[in-house]
Structure 1
Amino acid sequence: MRCTARVTPRRVMSVDIGVGSRLPAAVTAAGRVLRDGTDGTSGVALAVVDGPEDGLRSMAVPVRDRAGRIVSALDVTAHQGRGGDAGWRDALRAAGARIEADLHVTSRFVTVPVL
């Protein structure tokens, strides 16, 4: 997995994974979403993994192209005390849906590579 964009909150402590950083796909939430596709029950991909440090949790959702193929993943890593899974899940799915809507329009004019 390669980090291509990042937003850092203003906190005393934050996860420092810079743009261009590479991580093994099998241990990241985004990597699991890209590998597995869906959660097998609802048809909606969502992966939650415990982070590399105690108390960290990562969650990811897919970003799909116009044909429904997963072309990327959107994830968040935060301390477990920063809110429950439901809130992060809903926010990620909403952000992913907005990105997909833009991608669906853009992909009419440019080719989006499939993983």
Structure 2
Amino acid sequence: MVAESAAGARAGNGYFVQSVARALSVMRSFTAERRTQTLAEVARETGLDRATARRLLLTLADLGYVTSDGGHFELTPRVLELGYSYLSGMSLPEVAQPHLQALARELNETAALAVLDGDEIVYLALMASSRLATVKINIGTRFDACTTSMGRVLLAGLPEAELEERLGRLQLQRRTDRTVRDVQSLRAEIDKVRAQGWALVDSELEEGLRGAAAPVRDRAGRVVAAANVSVHAGRTTPELVERDYVPVILRTARLIEADLISAVG
């Protein structure tokens, strides 16, 4: 529904091709929680009428991006081609990987790197730990930025006008009892991240999951990514994460920055 309304808001632009926007909204309606969907579910998630959603799904199926058993639709691995050129052309994941490996090894926890894409974060690099099995995360996994430590770091790095625009249209979804419930509270958390230079999110994305993150900046000082460590809340406290984990994450982010600047310099 949000995707369709956003597309409608831009439809007045002379260059805007609404059919492309609608097709992309259909593809984005599939998530880790909605790997397969019926026609009715796709229509509901995108805000499209059933006839339009059906034509788009069948077109995507003809192109090889969607498969169907007659009643349910599912994305195919071919969708990965759409992001391959972007990911393969980036030095950031390659630069970050050895530092994430060192971070994960030092803390014996899951370490990751993500960027901001719309209102979501996208995982670009990951060193998973067997100690964190509650959340399935892979390269390309997306989560709402507002409920994650990396997301809040990335939101805090936005220019003020862009942040205000995003917060003005944001629709918060409650994932757990601890998920931030209103935009004012989220804004306060983002201001806190800006002031201290790192973020800590406790059981807002998933109950029992605690994450801390730090920004990764480019040569111009712009926040281009976030590095984080995710831990099970039963093994830590927020105070322990701040004392023992955050300094290591901050150091890792600085090392990634240094290598990134050298790689693109």
- State TM-score, norm by structure 1: 0.80
Specify the code of the residue in structure 1 equivalent to 2:244.
G
Higher relative contact order (Cα pairs below 8 Å, separated by 6+ residues): 1
Paired residue for 1:64? 217
When residues 61 and 12 of structure 1 are mapped into structure 2, their CA distance, relative to the original with a 3 A threshold, is closer
> 1:1-115 alignment to 2 at 5 Å?
1-11=121-131, 13=133, 15-37=135-157, 39-42=193-196, 45-51=197-203, 52-83=205-236, 84-85=240-241, 86-108=243-265
Give the 4+ runs in structure 1 shifted more than 6 A: none
SS of equivalent residue, structure 1 residue 101: helix
Q: What is the total number of aligned residue pairs between the two structures?
A: 106
Which range moved further: 78-87 or 21-30? Answer: 78-87
Cα–Cα, structure 1 residues 8 and 91, in superposed 2: closer, same or farther, change >3 Å?
A: same
Q: Deviations along 1:57-114, whole A, 9 cap, x unmatched?
A: 1111000011111111111111124441221101101111110110111121xxxxxx
How far is 1:55 from its partner?
2.3
The amino acid across from 2:199 in the alignment is A
In terms of fraction of residues, the more helix-rich structure is 2
Distance 1:19 1:12 in 2: 16
Q: 1:41 to 1:17 in 2, by over 3 A?
A: same
How many angstroms apart in 2 are the aligned matches of 1:9 and 1:73? 18
> What is the CA RMSD across the aligned residues, in angstroms?
1.9
Instruction: Return 5+ residue gaps in structure 1 as ranges.
Output: 109-115
Structure 2 partner of 1:111: none
Cα deviation digits, residues 18-69 of structure 1 (max 9, x gap): 1111111111111111111373435xx2111113333221111000011111
Moved more, 92-101 or 14-23: 14-23
Computing the radius of gyration from Cα coordinates, the structure with the larger value is: 2
Q: Secondary structure at 1:5's aligned position in 2?
A: strand
Shift of 1:14: 5.1
Residues of 2 paired with 1:64 and 1:25: CA distance?
Answer: 18
Matches of 2:256 and 2:211, distance apart in 1: 19
| Distance change (3 Å), C-alpha of 1:27 and 1:68 | same
In terms of mean alpha carbon deviation, does 69-78 or 48-57 score higher? 48-57
